[in-house]
Chain A
Amino acid sequence: MTGEQIAFLVVAIFTLVAGLLVVTTRNLVHAALWLVATLFGVAVTYGLLRANFLAVVQVVVYIGAIAILFIFAVMLTRKDMRDQGPQLNRNWLVGAILAMLTFVGLFFLLQSWNGMSMRAAEIPLKFDVVFELGNALTSPDGYVLPFEIASVLLVAALVGAVYVAFNRK
């Protein structure tokens, strides 16, 4: 068991437990906070994969913006400060069975692929991942078009969200 494997196991178990708590807690603000823990675990996973730009952007975008948005939304949509009633709907058993089937199906699909036990190649020392990522995102024969369209999408979402949630008094 190398150190990297132990680190991955610890992070993966923490993230999965936090994810389970997200979908099962009764108190919605606790669910949002467990989502923060899950997102942090995913950020550490990106760090393990040497995608450090993705790790930091995950913390900034997901934890710093999206999770806070969730917490605000939970606080603005509750009738009183307590949580009432069960949090699982009538079909939760079917949902659980479907989720289990999905996981088992994906597992068997992956087992039949012979690339599963691939080991990671070493990243050469001179290879600046962030520089190459910036190049890929902004060069014309890279991915500049999806990048620009994603930014237009964000502007549209910004305007749309403000318009939909605007409180006309």
Chain B
Amino acid sequence: MSFWNDPLKVVADWLLGVFTGWGMSETLALILIGFLGVLLLISLLMMLDIFLVWVERKVVSRFQDRIGPNRVGPYGLIQPFADIIKLIIKEDITPGGADKVVYNLAPILSMMSVLILWAVVPLAPTVLGVDLNIGVLYIIAAGAIGTLSIIMAGWSSNNKFALIGAFRQVAVMVSFEIPMLTMLLIPTIFAGSMGMNAIIQGQEVWYFWIAPLAAVIFLIAAIAELGRAPFDMAEGESELVSGFNIEYSGMKFGMFYAGELLHAFTFGGFLAILFFGGYRFFGLEKVSPFLAIATLIFKAFVGYFIIMWVKYTLLRIRIDHMLAFNWKFLTPLAFTLLMVTALMNAILKGTPTWLYVSLMFLSNVVVAWIALEIARSYSRQEREKVEGSKASSLVEIEAAHH
């Protein structure tokens, strides 16, 4: 096997030879090689993170019909480095009365919860951190640690606005985990396994064509988990003066910000892996792992662009509307979709592919249409209630006028 077919194994074997040649025992050499692999992945991710800051600022500026940073370097490419230098040389203020250990630990945990997600992302069939057979649940677990870091940040800042922002954000994150987990079960049903590699290998037909509504609900739940608009109640500049990270300045704020961008890119990657075929592109991944990595990164950027598109187009939703939307609409819809998908999958087990794909797609469209009809009739009732009271009050005002 050559370097182009299986790069990680070739490099690991070479390093093992080098280390045992220096006299190290084999287990210690293996542990050290593991550490070096982790270090390499994290370094590449942080460099990607810097690039993501530039992408975010350029994209938001184009959505807002302006040019964005273009002074610092060609097309503003050096701008993120200028931002990093600014954040590092800022004064590191800890608010008086803040709980120092928890205050300093929160941004570290927030960044950690994003970086550990990449341990299960399969960049290529042979380039992945660890092929956990429960990779899908691992995503939720990493999200749980992120939730914890936000509440630590909000509480330790010794600031009422930070606490309210943290409470709201945690309530939204914990609530939207349920439709997200349910939608993560749908690729599991199709692939027969919770492992990420198995889900990608099972996508002869993209799971998006078999379960489009699942992809949409997963996207909505993922955007809520990320804490980005339209679900960014915690960071609404006009409501809560940036919520749980009010008291954070300098590089600690930089960790929260960069962590959020990397988290958004990671979920763009998960959308690509779970519903759009991951690193597959009509057999291209068998040619070389580097093409597979490039395909996955490209698809992740498309997913990230969709997440940014949603952020810069939609208005912020109020916190009680957000939670009502989750508990009264999204969760029942997610459970219904799971049951319908499982049932249809069992019924259509042996049918030819074109029939299977079209019937599953149709069932998703039917479920979505019924759900939207129910939502529409509910909103019609609400509107009639408001209109009725408004019309009667208008009549009273007219009567009092004459």
Residues of A within 8 A of B (CB): 3, 29-30, 33, 36, 52-53, 56-57, 59-60, 63-65, 67-68, 71-72, 75, 81, 128, 130
Contact = CB atoms under 8 A, between A and B. Distances in A.
**Central interface residue in B102, B141, B163, by most chain A CB within 10 Å:** B141
Nearest to A29: B155
B151 A68 contact: yes
A75 B158 CA distance: 12
A16 B163 CA distance: 31
Interface stretch (B2-10, B129-137, B281-289): B129-137
A43 B141 CA distance: 11
B148 interface: yes
Contact of B158 (A56, A64, A81): A81
A90 B271 CA distance: 56
B37 to A, nearest CB: 18
A96 to B, nearest CB: 27
11 contacts: A33-B102, A33-B152, A56-B134, A56-B140, A60-B140, A64-B140, A64-B145, A64-B147, A65-B144, A71-B155, A130-B134
B155 A75 contact: yes
Contacts, number: 58
Contacts of A56: 134, 137-138, 140-141
Contacts of A60: 137, 140-141, 144
A68 B134 CA distance: 23
Contacts of B158: 81
Given A64-B174, A65-B144, 5 more contacts: A29-B102, A56-B138, A64-B148, A68-B148, A68-B174
A131 to B, nearest CB: 8
B27 interface: yes
Contacts of B220: none
A53 B102 contact: no
Interface in B145-159: 145, 147-148, 151-152, 155, 158
A169 to B, nearest CB: 15
B170 interface: yes
A140 to B, nearest CB: 17
B169 to A, nearest CB: 12
Nearest to B163: A75
Contacts of A57: 137
Interface in B99-133: 99, 102, 132-133
**Central interface residue in A29, A56, A72, by most chain B CB within 10 Å:** A56
A94 to B, nearest CB: 32
A168 B171 CA distance: 20
A45 to B, nearest CB: 15
**How big is the B interface, by class?**
20 to 34
Interface string B254-286: 000000000000000000000000000000000
A48 B351 CA distance: 43
Contact of A130 (B27, B133, B151, B174): B133
Nearest to A65: B174
B133 A63 contact: no
B360 interface: no
Given A52-B134, A59-B144, A75-B155, A64 B177 contact: yes
Interface string B157-168: 010000100010
Given A29-B155, A68-B174, A63 B137 contact: no
B186 interface: no
A30 B152 CA distance: 10
A59 B140 CA distance: 9
Nearest to B138: A56
The 6 A-B residue pairs whose C-beta atoms are closest, nearest first, are A64-B144, A59-B141, A56-B137, A60-B141, A56-B141, A60-B140
A78 to B, nearest CB: 11
A51 to B, nearest CB: 11
Nearest to B102: A33
Contacts of A30: 99, 102
A128 B144 contact: no
Nearest to B146: A64
A52 B132 contact: yes
Contacts of A71: 151, 155
B141 A53 contact: no
A64 B134 contact: no
B155 A128 contact: no
Contact of A63 (B102, B145, B163): B145
**Central interface residue in A33, A53, A71, A72, by most chain B CB within 10 Å:** A33
A144 B151 CA distance: 37
Nearest to B143: A64
A128 B147 CA distance: 31
A60 B184 CA distance: 14
B199 interface: no
B155 A59 contact: no
A67 B134 contact: no
A84 to B, nearest CB: 16
**Central interface residue in A29, A57, A60, A128, by most chain B CB within 10 Å:** A60
A33 B132 CA distance: 28
Contacts of B155: 29, 71, 75
